[in-house]
Amino acid sequence: MARSFLLFLLGMLVFGFAAPVTAQTSAEEGAEVVVTATRVETDVRHLPDSVTVISREDIDRREVQGLYQALETYPSISIKHNGWLGQWGYLRLRGGKSQDTAVLFDGVRLYDPSYPANDFGDLWSWFDAENFERIEIVRGPQSALYGSNAMTGAVNLIPRKGGGPFEARFKGGYGRYDTWRGTGHVKGSLGPLGYFVGISGVNTDGLYRDSEFRQSTVDTNLNLTPFANSSNRILKTLKLDYTLRYAYGYLNYGQWDWKSFRAYNDPHAERRQIIFLNHFTVTLKPTKWWNSKLTAGYHFTKRDYLDRDDGVLAYRADGSPVTDSYMDGLYRGKVYPVIFQNDFFYKDWVILSAGIEYYKEKGDFYNASSWGTKEYDDEVSTTSYFANLFLLPMDERLAVNLGARVDDHEEFGTHFTYKVGMAYFLTDTLKIKANLATGFRAPSLFNLYDPRYGNPDLDPEESTGGDIGVEQELFGGKLRWSVTWFNTHYEERISFNYATWHYYNSGGGVATGLETEIESRPYSWLSLGLNYTYTEGQEDDTENLALVPHHQIGARVSFEWQKLRLNLYYKYVGRRPAYDHKHMIADYSRVDLTGSYAVTDYAEVFFRAENLFDVDYEWAAGYRAPGFNLFAGIKLKTF
């Protein structure tokens, strides 16, 4: 199968070079474009996929710190969170597990090889949402584009880039739980060099007595067009781009007690974490119809746990003691991604993207309680060949998206995945769409080789999923609605056996559901959004999906009048089972309100009122969520 795919890839490359093509026209001027669904800028209107774009303005209006806060109220996103900022948080998309969603940082897969599932882990709460240009969410299997961990979708975190006129902005504020937060950035150009430098930080005592969280993040982008004034047409298109994110965090976390099924304060359970991301990209346009891009990166993650034995932490209702289960250890993960991609354009209706990806990953673990013994130190590499063909025939009334990929995994051999999507406009504004795709996820180094929990005999997970839906725009784009049905089947699911305390292949699973959305902007000063998601399924031999409710509603209202901006957010989450599939978590409704007022052209006051009506609820069983929480501050800017 690998040989057939390589011939297919070669044929499309030859087509791209040989075709008499014209200038690039991947998206109409002024249209909303996304990169994640096809790996090249494409007009959202034409895509068969279900896509959500969270803009920089959306993030700024919401006044959030953690990444999970920016994703709330959007379709098919279920969040588990263990309290306040920095505490453990997980995301499930379309009923899939957390490890079924690929997280990308500027198009490059972001994961920690030392995490149990080789995924983004609990960074949904820890990762700062500041300094992203936008967040693109593509729902549905995306393994044909991004490989392992993309069985239910992809979330692409696109950082801000340097360039343009000089800009400096600063923001600071204070709120409940003794929470301080500050951010700032400068952006501009020095001749052919564009630069962006951003710094953000947060310090909070946290929701519980012992739940302090401190974090600092630095974001940098430098981009250079060294031959912008050259007479050589090809050299003029050469662009060098360097992106960096460095983040350090400290967290005091609680201890989970499975007997009473609740969390307890642990005064000396400490976690320190470092994330260091580097990408260097070279782009070139040899012709008007051919773009070429090479990205090389280095990702480093480090998690250091130090939990002193505090003896008895509390007493259960029956009088029995809850004793401290301490853990000391050091986890380190390293990833070396290399991506070479070529995009070819034919007139106004053909875009071909094809290339090669190489990911080398390494993970190790030191057990500090065993005098610094290294318990495992392993590495693995994956070489992948991918191609995606996007067609707009019939005067753009029909859109066809075809993707294919071969992952050559060092441990598990060759795996082929595909993606087929079609959209057809019944009228100028009414579109029907459908997708069918396969997915693949290799066991992580932790799953395989951890001396306590690992199982070297694990098989990779596989999936087949699809969706079918309808979208329509009305009143000149002022109203848009959509309905999408989705279904995903899984094979050889990797689960944890609490009887043997090892990972194993638990069998199959399924998730199915319905997404509905309505978005409206009736006036320039008012925008509305409403969505409802129904999800059901089966996993680990149980007739439910852990942490995923059957019913979920999200709503957003934004109002702007002269110098005043107000934003209302509503979230309803139905009853859902806890991770053990037995305990049930009660449903809840929550309302957040944010706003700002421009005092001058250069100063603005803002606030965020979370849980406006002080609802008592839980994201995760046994972990109390924040009550009414007011955070306020000031923004300063200059141009």
DSSP code of 27? S
Q: Mapping DSSP to helix (H, G, I), strand (E, B) and coil, where does residue 448 land?
A: helix
* Range of lowest pLDDT (49-53, 114-118, 438-442, 468-472): 114-118
With cut-offs at 50, 70 and 90, classify the pLDDT of residue 377: confident
CATH class label, 2-638: mainly beta
Q: Confirm if 570 and 589 have CB atoms less than 8 A apart.
A: yes
CA-atom Rg of the chain in angstroms? 24
pLDDT at 579 over 90: no
How confident is the model over 496-519, as a mean pLDDT? 91
pLDDT in tens, 233-272: 999 999 999 999 999 999 999 888 888 999 899 999 999 9
Q: Is 399 helix (H, G, I), strand (E, B) or coil?
A: strand
What is the model's pLDDT at position 15?
A: 35
DSSP code string of 270-287: EEEEEEEEEEEEEEEEEE
pLDDT over 50 (residue 413): yes
What distance in Å separates the CA atoms of residue 383 and residue 358, rounded to the nearest whole number? 5
Three-state DSSP at 503 gives strand
In a 13 Å sphere around the CA of 579, the CA atoms on its Cβ side amount to: 22
Query: Could you count the other beta carbons within 10 Å of the beta carbon of residue 445?
Result: 26
The pLDDT of residue 11 is above 70: no
pLDDT at 4: 41
The confidence score (pLDDT) of residue 22 equals 37
What is the SS3 string spanning 332-349? EEEEEEEEEEEEEEECCC
**In 3-state terms, what secondary structure has residue 490?**
strand
The Cα 36–Cα 101 span in angstroms is 13
pLDDT at 110 over 50: yes
Longest dimension (CA), the chain: 82
Find the angle CA(612)-CA(613)-CA(615) to the nearest 5 degrees. 115
Tell me if residue 252 falls in helix, strand or coil. strand
DSSP element (H, E) containing 479: strand 479-497
CA distances in angstroms from 355 to 20, 382, 458, listed in the order given: 21, 14, 29
